[in-house]
Amino acid sequence: DQAIQAASARHPIVPLERGQLYRYGTAGFRMKADLLEGVTFRVGLLASLRSRKLNSQAIGVMVTASHNPAVDNGVKIVDPMGEMLEQDWERYATALVNAPSDAELVDIYNRLATDLKIDTKIPAKVIYGRDTRPSGHKLVTALADALDATRTEHVDYKLLTTPQLHYLVRATNSEGTPLSYGKVSEVGYYEKLAEAFVRAVRGRRISGTLQVDCANGVGGPKLSEFLKYIPKDKVGLDARVVNDDVLRPEVLNLDCGADYVKTKQRAPPAHQAKPGVRCCSLDGDADRLMYYWEDPESGFFMLDGDRISSLAASFIGDLVTSAGLRDDLRIGVVQTAYANGASTNYITQHLKLPVVCTPTGVKHLHHVAQGYDIGVYFEANGHGTVLFSPDALNSFKTKEPQSPAQKDALDTLAALGDLVNQTVGDAISDMLLVEVILAHKNWTLRDWAMTYSDLPNRLVRVEVGNKDLFHTTDAERRLSHPDGAQEEIDEAVKKFKDARSFARASGTENACRVYAEAATRTEANELADRVARIVE
């Protein structure tokens, strides 16, 4: 108790304005970095409890604020299989972080240990990493102090992309078991991806240049490192890494990166790609991905998370059919309310695959995707992955092929099982998946874009007095509170053709978001404005 209390005194918590509480949200704790030192210390205490609760398995802690500005930072916990922290534990994080004094912090820590029947004498292990933000160093020092005070073994992996840390957590906990996820090192991650990529491309070549905008974040150096593991003479992949300046913190996510591309619907101005060149953008911690190109005739065109999702579902669905497994494996696609209606129609009507809608936040999508043998999930913003069940992975390896085509499909599926990060959305791994699919289909981005036409849409951020007044139902597609608001939104939607609109409180910002789509751009804009006025 004394060790924790003394260490906590070195990393004080800053009271928030107007008595507000810190909250473990969709992305863990995320805010201005100068508020986070005490928060990160306390997250360290919870990570040690979590490890002890789960029989000393390794728990991960990632320090990042993803696509947010360089002055922000964030901290979140990763569970043993590389998944997000179990939802029940989010309130324990909130309780610890809001303890008003060092002494009360120790009380809450001890109470949690007692209530959750945790033996604080058994070993605990925590591994952690951070993105390139300058504040990251100080935060991991606070984290390490908490781990020392609780006698927790810890490994500092220093700079990592978020998905690399998730990989390492799973690899650590599965090491030496039949379900080993790969070597427990950053190199192990590169080797696993590179080997699976070569196997998946097999017999084809990645054509043309791929320009990758790395948001001036940790993805830049990590992607460059990864590329060293690719035998270019064998598979191609002429990747040109741009916006990879990690020495000037102020340029992180500035006018570049996946979030910029998605929200501004334009290519980052620096390193403007030549017309026709295939481009993609990662976000600041390399877990989101956007594809796009400048068309000489029609201008900028973006392929977002919905497009990646439908591309992956289409390709994998066809492979499963060719492999003769269509009757054995259940394939499903998981989206949120932000998915473009045209993508949902394409997946259900053209691909004939089921689509489930969940609330925002990848933990919800991930959870539902786990219910399928092959669960494809992406948020429109480019965060997502494809999950393969143990049964699915097993059948790719053990089914006896009846023809060369069937063998080819099975081999490709097995390679995808290793290529696609099974723990969390991973921009580098997803990018390789897209490159594999385009090579197999012999498609350009224009071919990919031709699969369906997006409904015009608009997303607006609305400042409101108190966002907590907004409650939703039906996977966030309807407001249950304030009274009467949903009826007004319904009235507004009725006035437009093929229209849909909803409003919800953001889980990461102090505001509401309004989404609208309709048959034309003008109508989508007008509907969004009307609903924004209702919410205001």
Known binding positions for Mg(2+): 66, 283, 285, 287
For the bound state, the minimum distance from the C-beta of residue 266 to ligand NG1, rounded and expressed in Å, comes to: 17
H or E element in which residue 300 lies: strand 299-303
For the bound state, the minimum distance from the C-beta of residue 508 to ligand NG1, rounded and expressed in Å, comes to: 4
Q: Which of Zn ion, ligand NG1, none is residue 285 near (CB under 5 to 8 Å by kind)?
A: Zn ion
Does position 66 bind Zn ion by CB under 5 A?
Answer: yes
Burial 171-185 (b: 16+ CB within 10 A, else e): bbbbeeeeeebbebe
Peptide bond into 482 cis (omega under 30): yes
- Residue among 66 and 211 whose Cβ is closer to Zn ion: 66
For the bound state, the minimum distance from the C-beta of residue 458 to ligand NG1, rounded and expressed in Å, comes to: 12
In 3D space, the residue among 192, 197, 195 whose CA is nearest the CA of residue 170 turns out to be 192
Does position 506 bind ligand NG1 by CB under 6 A?
Answer: yes
Does position 435 bind Zn ion by CB under 5 A?
Answer: no
In 3D space, the residue among 285, 304, 135 whose CA is nearest the CA of residue 215 turns out to be 285
In this chain, which of 86, 156, 191, 509 binds ligand NG1, going by CB under 6 A? 509
CA 525/CA 110 separation, integer angstroms: 53
- Residue among 285 and 373 whose Cβ is closer to Zn ion: 285
Helix (H, G, I), strand (E, B) or coil at 338: coil
Does position 513 bind ligand NG1 by CB under 6 A?
Answer: yes
Angle at the Cα of 85 from the Cα atoms of 47 and 18, rounded to 5 degrees: 80
In 3D space, the residue among 59, 8, 58, 62 whose CA is nearest the CA of residue 30 turns out to be 62
In this chain, which of 245, 259, 283, 435 binds Zn ion, going by CB under 5 A? 283
Q: Which of Zn ion, ligand NG1, none is residue 186 near (CB under 5 to 8 Å by kind)?
A: none
- Sign of the CA dihedral running 390, 27, 267, 355: positive
For the bound state, the minimum distance from the C-beta of residue 169 to ligand NG1, rounded and expressed in Å, comes to: 19
- Residue among 57 and 501 whose Cβ is closer to ligand NG1: 501
Q: Which of ligand NG1, Zn ion, none is residue 507 near (CB under 5 to 8 Å by kind)?
A: ligand NG1
In 3D space, the residue among 218, 358, 219 whose CA is nearest the CA of residue 280 turns out to be 219
CA 248/CA 175 separation, integer angstroms: 37
Q: Please count the other Cβ atoms lying within 10 Å of the Cβ belonging to residue 148.
A: 13
Does position 5 bind ligand NG1 by CB under 6 A?
Answer: no
Does position 287 bind Zn ion by CB under 5 A?
Answer: yes
- Residue among 120 and 525 whose Cβ is closer to ligand NG1: 525
- Binding segment toward Zn ion, per CB under 5 A, in 205-213, 281-289, 400-408, 466-474: 281-289
Length of the chain equals 536
Does position 90 bind Zn ion by CB under 5 A?
Answer: no
Helix (H, G, I), strand (E, B) or coil at 424: coil
Q: Please count the other Cβ atoms lying within 10 Å of the Cβ belonging to residue 274.
A: 11
- Residue among 244 and 304 whose Cβ is closer to ligand NG1: 304
Tokens 């026709």, residue? 276
Does position 500 bind ligand NG1 by CB under 6 A?
Answer: no
Quick one: tokens of 280? 């993609």
Q: Please count the other Cβ atoms lying within 10 Å of the Cβ belonging to residue 6.
A: 12
Q: Which of Zn ion, ligand NG1, none is residue 287 near (CB under 5 to 8 Å by kind)?
A: Zn ion
Active site residue ranges: 66
Does position 24 bind ligand NG1 by CB under 6 A?
Answer: no
- Residue among 323 and 524 whose Cβ is closer to ligand NG1: 524
Most distant CA pair in the chain, distance: 69
Q: Which of ligand NG1, Zn ion, none is residue 509 near (CB under 5 to 8 Å by kind)?
A: ligand NG1
Does position 338 bind ligand NG1 by CB under 6 A?
Answer: yes
Cα Rg of the chain, angstroms = 23
Site string for ligand NG1, 353-382 (x = CB under 6 A): -------xx-----------------x-x-
CA 36/CA 28 separation, integer angstroms: 12
Number of residues that bind ligand NG1 (CB under 6 A): 14
- Residue among 236 and 284 whose Cβ is closer to ligand NG1: 284
Residues that bind ligand NG1 in the complex, under the rule CB under 6 A: 26-27, 66, 338, 360-361, 379, 381, 383, 506-509, 513
